[in-house]
Structure 1
């Protein structure tokens, strides 16, 4: 009888630990599959990404971070190009943040010019690394525009398959 009670208690402990572990893991990390070419060459179609969902609870997003954001009934993977109160414009294929060129080694294509705009409070300006016309639905499109920080699901840490680290801008002095 005592042995049976001990087994029941051990089973309950195991179940509680499993539930806690599931809760912690599901709220701090995830894996996401990429559909599309908007982040080429950094992230390729059908890549599997490791996402840190807890990072922005402890630190602020920064320019260069690649993030997953909720959009309607789907998710987008994009790069943070400007933060709240930053000005952004695109002129002759160069992205300017606060009137300084963003030195990008990860992007392809020549983006269309965009007039200077200021990112609203609690928002981020997100662009895909594939800047060819029509390849990336991002903050340059008025249908999306700057994205509220609350819609950020997490930061992309690396690609699991194929394995590689995520590239960042050369100058992070913004």
Structure 2
């Protein structure tokens, strides 16, 4: 009898230890997800070739400090009066806020509908003058360096099967990235000159002719308070024609070479 009770007690202790480990793991995951890194997936081709449909990435919430849309709850921390009194806050952000840098790839809430997340590249800073002329980006009247490189082609990608003209663009601060030009002289290849207001940013997609960005009224200038965070790393990637639930197809559909790619 005593031996049976001892065995049962050990079994209960082992079960409780397992439960505690699971609870601790869930709490850690909740903390990381809420305060540090938020996972996002790419639903459109607007950031090709940098980001592909089916990419899953971590967005750093601490990169620009916490803002109104950093959490799924508010706690009343982001009213103008409270933020202005916070020694670590400015422009609607708190706890060691930092300004987005030119060239960052960032997730933000669409100004016209904050229920929608967008991901684009920071091109224009407050006070900048931004314009597109014949497909060339101009910042403050100076043409951004744009070099023709090899065509982009990926037979595995739906919608981008044919070779697409590809360029290397280099911003004034030295950040370089690839952009696509699917339509010479597309509808947004020639624009008015945009003057970025204080506290706002001009965002553009790398797939220039297939991106709804700050060139269009639906997006426009993005206020700093709408930023969720900076996209830092791709942690998983799968073909857009695949399903996450068809596990047996993963060895063939997963893009193994994109795992842990820095953005």
- TM bracket (short chain): 0.7 to 0.9
Whether 1:56 and 2:64 are equivalent positions in the alignment is yes
TM-score of the superposition, structure 2-length normalised?
0.53
Matches within 5 A, 1:40-51: 40-51=48-59
What CA distance in whole angstroms lies between the structure 2 residues aligned with 1:70 and 1:83? 17
TM-score of the superposition, structure 1-length normalised?
0.79
What CA distance in whole angstroms lies between the structure 2 residues aligned with 1:95 and 1:125? 12
Whether 1:32 and 2:40 are equivalent positions in the alignment is yes
| Corresponding residue of 1:171 | none
Shift of 1:19: 4.6
Relative contact order higher in (CA < 8 Å, ≥ 6 apart): 1
Shift of 1:16: 8.9
Shift of 1:142: 1.1
1:98 is aligned, of 133, 140, 150, to 140
Q: Is the 8 A contact 2:42 2:52 kept in 1?
A: yes
What CA distance in whole angstroms lies between the structure 2 residues aligned with 1:74 and 1:106? 26
| Corresponding residue of 2:250 | none
Matches within 5 A, 1:59-74: 59-71=98-110, 72=113, 73-74=115-116
Note the aligned Cα RMSD (angstroms). 2.4
Residues 17 and 157 (structure 1), Cα distance of their counterparts in 2 relative to 1, 3 Å cut: closer
Shift of 1:101: 2.3
Whether 1:119 and 2:196 are equivalent positions in the alignment is yes
| Corresponding residue of 1:130 | 207
Shift of 1:60: 1.4
Residues 158 and 101 (structure 1), Cα distance of their counterparts in 2 relative to 1, 3 Å cut: farther
Q: Is the 8 A contact 2:214 2:220 kept in 1?
A: yes
Shift of 1:102: 2.5
Q: Which has the larger radius of gyration?
A: 2
What CA distance in whole angstroms lies between the structure 1 residues aligned with 2:28 and 2:48? 37
Q: Secondary structure at the match of 2:192?
A: strand
Q: Is the 8 A contact 2:136 2:189 kept in 1?
A: no
Q: Secondary structure at the match of 1:22?
A: helix
| Higher mean C-alpha deviation, range 119-128 or range 107-116 | 107-116
Whether 1:107 and 2:179 are equivalent positions in the alignment is yes
Q: Which residues of structure 2 form unaligned runs of 5+? A: 1-12, 14-18, 66-95, 146-168, 170-176, 238-257
| Corresponding residue of 2:225 | 150
Q: Deviations over 1:81-115 (max 9, x none)?
A: 00111110111211111122223141111551111
